[in-house]
């Protein structure tokens, strides 16, 4: 069947992308993620025609999430019939009922993605495959950029979806990134091949759907009808710059690997763009899979450049990881670091969340919430639960022990009091004084933990939001 000119042009565009990006070699075994939608169906048709030219050993994989009733079953029947007609081997994985329920803090889409890639990984191991082909197209690039922009992603995230990417021992390949969604629909119409549509994509329940169906049409209509071209240009520029910075960072990290440890000097005078990347890569090297927030990286670099004079501190990172400086070296550890006996004990809390500073033997949970005065009254006598006025809090908070000259304004007292005298009034033993943890905000003591908060941070008549703090001594 001869293709219409526009459909033929789409097919040639995909061929050119595969050759230009050298996405696979002749004779390779590849796995296609086949949902039955227009993108993956178009990719299957193109690949089936390349089987002879590239001597590809192609097989397809489909996941039936069993979450859209008859639609899910229809998807499975469609892809099975198409693969049978084209002579392509197909593996199908049907999820069990309830397997997509929210667990481990993951939402529906995150959990679905995890299960999908676990299936692909299993197939790759079973059949000796390495490359997994995905159907992301140029429209996905545009949607993805805005989704990542709304999350505050850096240049690497805004550079867009790469044509190839290593992931969990697989190589993810995306041959359709140069094709618009409407082009792929024209290609399928020219081939006379049916495809499935996911009715959930038309709603506004998920953020991606709201970007696709609400935000982007508005931007194209009222701000820039050529928005997609502008986004692709931004993707290209950022991708090139990201590759260059990644290469520079790799050279710096190689020097750190040779030495076996990162020094403060490696980061102090480095340009922030490189310092951020190098620190992230080093922490990932020490603790693979670490997910750092932007504010944690910035706080770490601030401490490295302008930290305490004695250069001894520790910073809580995501996932129970700590970054500590014991003078010249930077140490990444889980739980108790080898610099645990630093004096003074300095531990930074960069945002609300859960912390387990090993040097103090306690667990801290910090949560911002609306003021509930009934809850405040119920827990008024609980010395391990406190409420501070959230609008008076400036992050990061600091956890440390007493230092000479410390003063604060105990709630219920007029004026400031020496912390030493406050401890005397409480009849604290010398050892208890030495280990008593203090929570500071902006250099001021906000809470003598388990004893008294400072009146300047207390909840008042104007308070609307609170920082709820819960402490458990382990």
pLDDT digits (tens, 9 = 90+) for 111-150: 888 899 999 999 999 999 999 999 999 999 999 999 999 9
Nearest-angstrom CA–CA distance, 421 and 370: 35
Determine the average pLDDT of the residues in 75-86: 95
Nearest-angstrom CA–CA distance, 168 and 121: 8
Cα separations in angstroms, 155 against 90, 144, 240, 308, 442: 38, 13, 10, 31, 31
Overall pTM surpassing 0.75 (yes/no): no
**Per-residue pLDDT tens over the stretch 168-197:** 899 999 999 999 999 999 999 999 999 998
- Name the token pair of 203: 């709603």
Determine the average pLDDT of the residues in 378-395: 89
What is the b/e burial string over 198-225, where b = at least 16 CB atoms within 10 angstroms of the residue's CB? Answer: eeeeeeeeeeeeebbeeebeebeeeeee
Q: What is the pLDDT of residue 336?
A: 47
- H or E element in which residue 441 lies: strand 438-441
Domains of the chain in sequence order: 5-224 (3.40.50.620), 360-473 (3.50.40.10)
- H or E element in which residue 353 lies: strand 353-355
Q: What is the pLDDT of residue 106?
A: 52
Per-residue pLDDT at 154 exceeds 70? yes
How many other C-beta atoms can be found within 10 angstroms of the C-beta atom of residue 400?
A: 20
**Per-residue pLDDT tens over the stretch 416-450:** 999 999 999 999 999 899 889 999 998 899 999 99
Work out the pLDDT band at 109, boundaries 50, 70, 90: confident
In the predicted model, what is the mean pLDDT of the chain? Answer: 88
Rounded to 5 degrees, what are φ and ψ at 179? Answer: -110, 135
Among 225-229, 278-282, 310-314, 395-399, the range scoring the smallest mean pLDDT is: 310-314
**Per-residue pLDDT tens over the stretch 297-351:** 888 888 888 765 556 777 877 777 888 887 788 988 875 443 333 334 678 888 8
Per-residue pLDDT at 49 exceeds 70? yes
Q: What is the pLDDT of residue 240?
A: 92
Q: What is the pLDDT of residue 9?
A: 87
Nearest-angstrom CA–CA distance, 402 and 76: 65
Q: What is the pLDDT of residue 97?
A: 65
């Amino acid at each position: 069947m001869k293709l219409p000119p526009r459909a033929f042009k789409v097919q040639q565009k995909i061929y050119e992308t595969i050759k230009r990006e050298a996405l696979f070699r002749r004779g390779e075994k590849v796995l296609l993620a086949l949902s039955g939608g227009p993108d993956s169906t178009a990719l299957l048709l193109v690949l089936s025609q390349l089987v002879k030219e590239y001597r590809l050993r192609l097989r397809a994989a489909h996941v039936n999430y069993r979450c859209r009733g008859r639609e899910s079953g229809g998807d499975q029947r469609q892809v099975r019939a198409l693969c049978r007609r084209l002579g392509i081997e197909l593996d199908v994985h049907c999820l069990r009922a309830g397997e997509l329920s929210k667990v481990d803090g993951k939402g529906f889409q995150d959990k679905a993605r995890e299960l999908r890639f676990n299936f692909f990984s299993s197939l790759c191991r079973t059949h000796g495959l390495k490359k997994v082909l995905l159907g992301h197209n140029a429209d996905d690039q545009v949607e993805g950029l805005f989704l990542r922009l709304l999350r505050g992603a850096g240049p690497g995230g805004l550079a867009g979806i790469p044509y190839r990417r290593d992931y969990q021992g697989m190589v993810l390949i995306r041959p359709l990134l140069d094709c618009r969604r409407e082009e792929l629909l024209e290609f399928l119409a020219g081939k006379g091949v049916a495809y499935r549509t996911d009715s959930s994509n038309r709603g506004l329940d998920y953020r991606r759907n709201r970007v696709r169906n609400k935000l982007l049409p508005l931007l194209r209509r009222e701000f820039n009808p050529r928005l997609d071209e502008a986004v692709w240009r931004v993707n290209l520029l950022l991708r090139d710059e990201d590759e260059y910075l990644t290469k520079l960072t790799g050279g710096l990290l190689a020097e750190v690997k040779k030495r076996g440890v990162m020094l403060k000097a490696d980061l102090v005078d480095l340009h922030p763009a490189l310092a951020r990347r190098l620190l992230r890569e080093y922490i990932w090297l020490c603790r693979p899979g670490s997910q750092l927030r932007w504010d944690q990286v910035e706080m770490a670099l601030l401490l490295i450049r302008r930290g305490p004079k004695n250069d001894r501190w520790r910073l809580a990172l995501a996932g129970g990881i700590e970054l500590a400086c014991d003078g010249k070296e930077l140490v990444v550890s889980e739980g108790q670091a080898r610099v645990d006996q630093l004096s003074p004990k300095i531990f930074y809390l960069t945002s609300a969340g859960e912390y387990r500073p090993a040097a103090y033997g306690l667990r801290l949970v910090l949560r911002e919430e609306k003021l509930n005065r009934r809850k405040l009254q119920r827990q008024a006598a609980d010395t391990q639960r406190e409420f501070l006025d959230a609008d008076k809090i400036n992050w990061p908070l600091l956890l440390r022990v007493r230092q000479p000259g410390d003063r604060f304004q105990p709630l219920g007292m007029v004026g400031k009091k020496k912390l030493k005298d406050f401890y005397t009034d409480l009849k604290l033993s010398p050892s208890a004084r030495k280990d008593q943890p203090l929570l500071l905000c902006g250099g001021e003591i906000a809470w003598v933990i388990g004893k008294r908060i400072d009146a300047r941070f207390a909840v008042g008549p104007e308070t609307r939001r609170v920082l709820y703090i819960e402490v458990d001594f382990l």
